[in-house]
Amino acid sequence: MTSIKRRAVVLAATAGAFLTVIGSAASASATGLHYYSVAPGVRLNVRSGPGTSYNVLYLLPEGAKVPIYCQSPGTTVTGPYGTSNIWDNIDNGEYVSDAYVQTGSDGYIAPRCS
């Protein structure tokens, strides 16, 4: 393969990958999914349900950002962003206390989990 043909193939592959990334970003944007910051300096417990009686699955590292798919009432917790009984569902079967997530609201910002 000549040098010019190789460059064309590389450019075409790069352009295809770039369009795939742009397409993925556009679909994420179309769903309206937003990531929220966990309070600075906090390693936050991720639990299996909306409350402190549920098992801790893992710890989020400092500086983490989380999506909120839905929210559920649960154990009341006091944290850097106030006292709340709202728990944020960040993935299937994974919850964090809203009192540690900077949502900009004291109330629900996502649909209730079913």
pLDDT digits (tens, 9 = 90+) for 13-57: 334 433 333 333 343 445 678 999 999 999 999 999 999 999 999
Q: Distance of CA 82 to CAs 16, 65, 103, Å?
A: 47, 18, 12
Q: Please give the order of strands across the beta sheet that includes 35-38.
A: 65-67, 35-38, 101-102
Q: What is the pLDDT of residues 74-111, one digit of tens each?
A: 999 999 999 999 999 999 999 999 999 999 999 999 99
